[in-house]
Amino acid sequence: MAGYQAFDLYPTPNDKGDPAKTKSLLAAAGYPNGLTLTMIYRSTGNGPKETESYQANLAAAGVTLKLVPIANGATFYTQYLQNPDATKRGVWDLAAPGWIPDWFGNNGRSIISPLFDGRAYGPSSNDYGDYNSDATNADIDNALQAKTTADANKYWHMADMQIMQDAVVIPVLVQQTSVFHSSRVQNFIFNLFQQQGDITNIWLKQ
């Protein structure tokens, strides 16, 4: 992704989190006895196992998750994440949606813009958490209007930093998929959407 620079605004010992610090921050925020949040999750595929992990780790930090399984993947998005009414009514607090870029390289337009530009929030919006930051919106505009790749990269990185400073999302995992093919297969180019090689552009070596 253009503009990506590795950084960690919330370092913890061995990158394993800090439950004690979390509990003290919750107490300072007015939750000395912990906090209960409702998490919707997809009850198919890896959803249940991933959610069990979230639940156990957050419990150690004083956060209790009330779990609501959603069997239909489309409903998970349309009736909850992309439904401002459900958000305003507090039907859910946490969710773990997935997102992949439409293309590589200068792709902030397909990641940061749809997920974090609050000016586009509304029914069917991909700004699932109703995040709207003047600073982030300005960075997005500057990146899209940049005359050079270097300038675009600078503003995408600034938007990334602002988003993490505001703690809008918790990046917890990157899913990796192993794909095997014969050494005879030529021009095997991985396709993100199919999670497989692009079969329209491969051939076999004699």
Is the pLDDT at 175 greater than 80, yes or no? no
Residue 116 lies in a domain: no
- Per-residue pLDDT at 177: 77
Taking the C-alpha atoms of residue 157 and residue 153, their distance in angstroms, rounded to an integer, is: 6
User: Over 104-132, what HEC string results?
Assistant: CCCCHHHHHHHHHCHHHCCCCCCCCCCCC
Residue 183 lies in a domain: yes
- Cβ contacts of residue 163 below 8 Å, gap of 6+? 112, 116, 131, 133, 136, 169
Residue 2 lies in a domain: no
Higher pLDDT, 106 or 37: 37
pLDDT digits over 39-67, tens only? 999 999 889 999 999 999 999 999 999 99
Higher pLDDT, 182 or 175: 182
Residue 191 lies in a domain: yes
Residue 205 lies in a domain: yes
Maximum C-alpha span of the chain: 70
Extract the tokens encoding 82: 């992309």
Residue 59 lies in a domain: no
Domain count along the chain: 1
- The domain in which residue 202 lies consists of 178-206
Q: How many CB atoms lie within 10 A of CB 32?
A: 11
Is the pLDDT at 102 greater than 90, yes or no? no
pLDDT digits over 134-147, tens only? 999 999 999 999 99
Extract the tokens encoding 63: 């956060």
Residue 76 lies in a domain: no
Taking the model in full, what pTM does it have?
Answer: 0.84
Beta-bridged to residue 70, according to DSSP, are 42
Residue 196 lies in a domain: yes
